[in-house]
Every structure is written in C-alpha cells, then in structure tokens.
Amino acid sequence: MKRVGKIFFAVLTAIFLSNIFAQETNSGVYSDIPDYGKDKYLSPEAITYAGGEKFLICARTGDELIVLNNDKVEKKIPLGGHPSGVAADLGSKTAYITIEAPQGKVLKVDYESGKVLSSYEAGHMPRAPILSADAKFLYFVNQFTGRVAKMDVKSGKIAAEGKAVREPFSQVLSTDGKTLYVLNLIPEAKGGLYEENIGACVSVFDAESLKAIKRIDLPNGSINANQICISPDGAYLYCSSVIARFNVPTTQVERGWINTNAVSVIDAKKNEFVCSFLLDDIDLGASNPFGVVVSPDGKTLVAVQAGTHEISVINLKALHEKIGKALSGELSADRKSPTPTDPANDLAFLFGLRKRIETGALGPRFAAFDADGKNLYVTCYYSDNLVKFSPNEEWKKQEISIGGNPNMNLVRKGDLFFHDGQFCFQKWLSCSTCHTQVRSDALNWDLMNDGIGNPKQSKSMLYAHYTAPCMITGIRKDAETAVRKGLKYIQFVDRPEADAQAIDAYLKSLVEIDSPYLNPDGSMSEAAERGMIIFEEAGCAHCHSGEYYTDMKSHDVGSGLNEYEGKAFDTPTLCEIWRTAPYLYDGRARNIFELFKKFNKSDKHGKTSNLSDDELRDLEAYVNTL
C-alpha cells in the first residue's frame, strides 16, 4: 500500500484503492524491475548447482524456478513473486528461494516433484539465501533494513539476527562454517565532505550467533558490489564491484578516468583486505562486473561482466603470484618503476593472466559450475537464455534455451540500454553504473552540466520523467533532455534517438517500493503519524506537495555553501527518500534527523529549529515512510 501516509486525508481512501489495484494488475513491480506490460520475459538471474546434471535458475521477472537437467528444461515451478536468490540442499532435493517483496517470503520447494512445500515470512525485500553445510540453517539478508537472518529450516523460526552495513546484497560462509561474510551493494551514508573512505565493504559475522566480528572496507569509490564468493580451500574471498573515480571531474572517460571495474581479494584466514585488481584493459572497459565464481579445483576465477556481455577467465595461481609481487614491490622493480604497483590502478595488471570471452548473449549476470568443473553456466538476463561454457583451452560456448522471449518491446529495450556498457565509448560504464538499481550510488559526482569543481549527489531516476526540471540545480528542463545529455557527455557517444526513447519508456515504467519503515500491513507507526502532522505544521508540505511530493520549483533552503550560498535548488521528490541517503546536494547529511538538526539553523528548509529531538525523530519517521 504505497500511498498510505499521503498528506491529504481527503484522497487517502482513493489512493489506497488505486494501489491495491496496481499491485493486482502489475504482479508487484518492485526494485529496478519494470512493468513490461503484456509481454512476458523470464529474466534468468540467480543460479545454483543442484546435483547430477541439474541446475536451478531464478526467473526474475518470470516468477518461476526453472529446473534445468542435462541442458533441457525439466520443469518450471511457479513461485508467485520475483525470486531474488536460491540455495539447494542436494541431499533432500529441496531448494530455498527468497521472494523479493515488501512482505517477502522464503519458499521451500521440492525441485524433483515441483511442489512448494512451505512458505515462511522473511521481512522486507529478502535475498541471497545460503545453507549451512549440514543444511539445518538458512541464511538470508534483507537489503533495505540491513538485517542478516539465520533461519532454522525445520521450524521456519529465526534462530539469530545480525545487522550488516547498508544494503547487504550477497553473502558466503567460510569453508569451516564458522564465519559469515556479507557484502553490501553501495556505501553507507557517511555525510560530511567524504574526507574518509566511502565505499562498499564486507561485514564479518560469527555464523552461530550472527554477532558482528569485523568490517573490511573495499577501496574508496567501491559501488555496485554484486557478489562475494570463496575459494574451495577457504583461503580467499573475491568480491565484484565498480571502483568509481568520483573525485575527479567527468571531463573524459578514457583509461578509466570516470570509472573502473574490479574484483577485490580478501584473506579469509586473517579477515584482511589484500587488494583490488581491475578487469579493464587500457583502452577497453569491463563495465558492470556482476557474478564471481571459483572453479571446484580452485584454479580459475570467473568474473561476469554484465555491461560488456562477457566473462573474464582468470588463472588464480598466476594472479596471486602477481599480487604478491605487486604488494612486495618486486613487480615495480621488474618494471623499473620507483613506486610500488597498485593493482587497483593498473589497467594492464591482468595481461597474460586471463581470457576475456564474449558470451554472445545479452546481460550475463551470475554463473555456476557443475560439481567437477567441466561445465559453467551463465544466466543472461536480457537475451532470456543461458550460455554454457566448456572450461578448457578454447572455452567453447553454447546457448541454452529456457523458453525465454528474445523479442524485446520498447520498455525491455530501454531496460537493456540503461544497463548496457557497450553504449559507452570504450565500454567503461552504463547509466546503471552511477544510478545503482536505477536509484543513486550515494556518491558526489562533478558533472560537466554546471561547470567544474562542484560535485553533487547522484540522483535517483525514480519518477524523474514526471518531476521536471532535472538535476539538482534544475539545469535540465526535463528528464528526456537529461537522458540524451547523459549519453553524450558522460558516456561520450551519439546514439540514435530511438535508443533514448527506449530509455525514457523504461524509466517511466518504474514505481516505488513500499517503505520498510511502514508496518507490515502498510500502516504507519505512531511516531510517523505524529511526524505527518509536524510535516504539515513545519511547512514541509508547501514545497513537497502533490503525488510526488514536489512542487517542481526551485527554492533557496539555506543549504548552499561557498559559491552556492543563496542558491535555489530543485525540490526533489520524497518518494523512496528512505532509500537515497545521504541528503542535501553534497550529501553532508547522513539522515533526515541530521538534515534538520545540523543543517537547518535558518529555518529555510521548514520551521524545525524549535522542534525537540523527539519531534525531529517523529518527522524523520514520517518522511521515511514515503
């Protein structure tokens, strides 16, 4: 019930009913998943090995679990919602699937019979299920609440809970089962002017109690950290991510100036960061790394490059030897360089260590080996199929049909184009690189639309086409203009008008997720109800008005610093504001409370200076429901 909590009580009932209808007709359109209309697509994503010749594949928009046996679809099991992850118990031939929704589920499925055996409440937007080695416990995360949960699979009850850093997205257990590693998608909101490291990290937990042990930071600018995996011997962890070069103006894209694409290495025995290395070549980016997987023999690391529709096959022994040389300074001596080699800044680091292989399909995301490592299967989201590789000298490939739909309508094309790194000059990035899940990556970027030396927060694309003007300063008259200028001045390409129109259609199709700050029935807490009254009394509703909580005008709210003192900024929508911290144009406020407590002394941003801390927290509670 997305609209519960709207300001105007007179239309509350109508809004409530309209959203019930929308949920029924759209099958629940959540996260970055658009409404494709009457056209149906499977969108294969998460995949896991299920014994013998079997693999289990989550059809993300097809709302099915696909059982693949000997390269043929054995059955399709309807799930009633968008699957976000799957874990298989080979002993009992059962699987656990997380269903991503505001009232999410974990489904227990017998993949031999195709029956759904049990359904468990799993909280807001669950994902990344993994089983303990004895299959007695299932671990999953809730992306937007940060919860890490351990469920007793026999009773369905939660045995332990932990709290990860912002937006946990992937997790893996140590080989001895004692430690849980959780990778977060984007940086936590630190506020300030980014003087400290701002990047994704790995939260380390005791697997028994889910008590936090340690936090391992990835390099500054690490965003879109999609998957973490562990080597079979338990020695190393590998994490895919982008390393955004957000601290430089976006004057060029060559040689990774704006963006690079990486895998980070962590010593799992010491729980220490080792280094990150780049998947890019000197003049060819490897945009949007997604899945990472190690072969069963521990000899090969495969990184899936979703933006360039490729995989990188990396010799792990040679990789670690070279990392050792780089960190010891030996590699610098070999190259007759006076400074140590940093793999995270070396675009030639993988030279001679990897094969870069085109999948021949569109939107590869995750990969899984069979038990003996003789076959690798890669899910291809947009071509709606799989690609099978034979890991030998030639790495021969074969497309595997799962009954998908290769014929893209306009929205589906726009979805692809928004995520497609091949649009960019030298393939360094895509629109989704900085607009994570079509929202914000939480970084300040110095774009060229308003000069150099004035970085500002990346904005969410949700409802951008309905809330003109665009950009924080309102410099673009509408989102259509912003899309076309983004292609030209950030990706440095000229694309046909039809491509931009498809991206427009895709962005227009998106709707918000119900806030995790709402009660399970969609109602507000008592604090939020009090905050709604304060929202009116403080004058917030004067500018944040209407369906999208914006009057679509610019106002001086007293937040401008230095050259921006007295500057009027575009009034942003408050829809999903709970998801897009930090706040203000430069991200100096970590949360809504801090925005008003520390950065609204003049009362230009609502009359809040006379409010107590409790009242400010009530106001924050309300805004976080929108």
Compute the distance between CA of residue 420 and CA of residue 463 in angstroms, rounded to an integer: 21
What count of residues does the chain have? 626
Which top CATH class is 412-502?
mainly alpha
| Angle at alpha carbon of residue 480, lines to 541 and 433, rounded to 5° | 90
Compute the distance between CA of residue 305 and CA of residue 288 in angstroms, rounded to an integer: 6
Place of tokens 């895709």: 506
Calculate the alpha carbon distances from 369 to 61, 302, 331, 379, 528 in Å. 24, 10, 33, 12, 48
Q: Do domains 164-308+310-358 and 514-623 have the same CATH topology?
A: no
Q: How many CB atoms lie within 10 A of CB 12?
A: 14
Domain positions in the chain: 164-308+310-358, 412-502, 514-623
Compute the distance between CA of residue 108 and CA of residue 119 in angstroms, rounded to an integer: 6
Where does 164-308+310-358 sit in CATH, by number? 2.130.10.10
CA atoms within 13 A on the CB side of 40: 8
> What DSSP designation does 460 have?
P
What integer pLDDT is reported at residue 448 of this predicted model? 86
* 262 backbone φψ class: left, alpha, beta (φ>0; ψ -120 to 50): beta
Crossing angle for the helix pair 497-508 and 410-419, to the nearest 10 degrees: 100
CB 509 within 8 A of CB 617: no
- Main-chain dihedrals φ then ψ at residue 354, nearest 5 degrees: -145, 160
Token pair, residue 385, equals 């199929």
Give kind and range of the element (H or E) at residue 87.
Answer: strand 83-89
Strand intervals (E) in 193-271: 201-206, 212-217, 222-223, 228-230, 236-244, 259-267
Of 216, 210, 127, give the one whose Cα is nearest residue 162.
210
CB 151 within 8 A of CB 130: no
Of 59, 91, 517, give the one whose Cα is nearest residue 67.
59
Token pair, residue 375, equals 């076959």
- Main-chain dihedrals φ then ψ at residue 54, nearest 5 degrees: -100, 145
Token pair, residue 267, equals 């010593």
> What DSSP designation does 348 have?
T
- Main-chain dihedrals φ then ψ at residue 395, nearest 5 degrees: 50, 55
- Main-chain dihedrals φ then ψ at residue 484, nearest 5 degrees: -70, -40
Of 150, 180, 186, 179, give the one whose Cα is nearest residue 165.
186
CB 1 within 8 A of CB 514: yes
Calculate the alpha carbon distances from 254 to 285, 354, 429, 451, 463 in Å. 9, 22, 11, 20, 31
CB 572 within 8 A of CB 526: no
Of 127, 83, 133, give the one whose Cα is nearest residue 109.
83
Question: What are the residues facing 217 on neighbouring strands?
Answer: 201
Q: In whole angstroms, what separates CA 192 from the centre of its chain?
A: 23
CA atoms within 13 A on the CB side of 189: 21
Give kind and range of the element (H or E) at residue 526.
Answer: helix 526-537
pTM here?
Answer: 0.93
Query: What is the arrangement of strands in the sheet containing 310-315, beginning at the earlier edge strand?
Result: 289-294, 300-305, 310-315, 354-358
Of 446, 508, 448, 458, give the one whose Cα is nearest residue 479.
508
Compute the distance between CA of residue 186 and CA of residue 165 in angstroms, rounded to an integer: 9
What integer pLDDT is reported at residue 393 of this predicted model? 79
Compute the distance between CA of residue 310 and CA of residue 363 in angstroms, rounded to an integer: 9
Q: How many CB atoms lie within 10 A of CB 254?
A: 13
Compute the distance between CA of residue 271 and CA of residue 216 in angstroms, rounded to an integer: 7
CA atoms within 13 A on the CB side of 344: 20
pLDDT, averaged per 10 consecutive residues of the chain (626 residues), comes to: 39 33 39 86 98 97 97 97 97 97 97 96 97 97 98 96 97 98 94 74 98 96 97 98 94 95 98 97 97 97 98 97 91 67 92 96 98 97 98 92 97 97 96 96 90 90 95 92 94 95 96 94 95 96 95 93 91 95 94 94 93 96 97
Of 316, 187, 310, give the one whose Cα is nearest residue 241.
187
What integer pLDDT is reported at residue 2 of this predicted model? 42
524, amino acid identity: M
CATH topology of domain 514-623: Cytochrome Bc1 Complex; Chain D, domain 2 (1.10.760)
484, amino acid identity: R
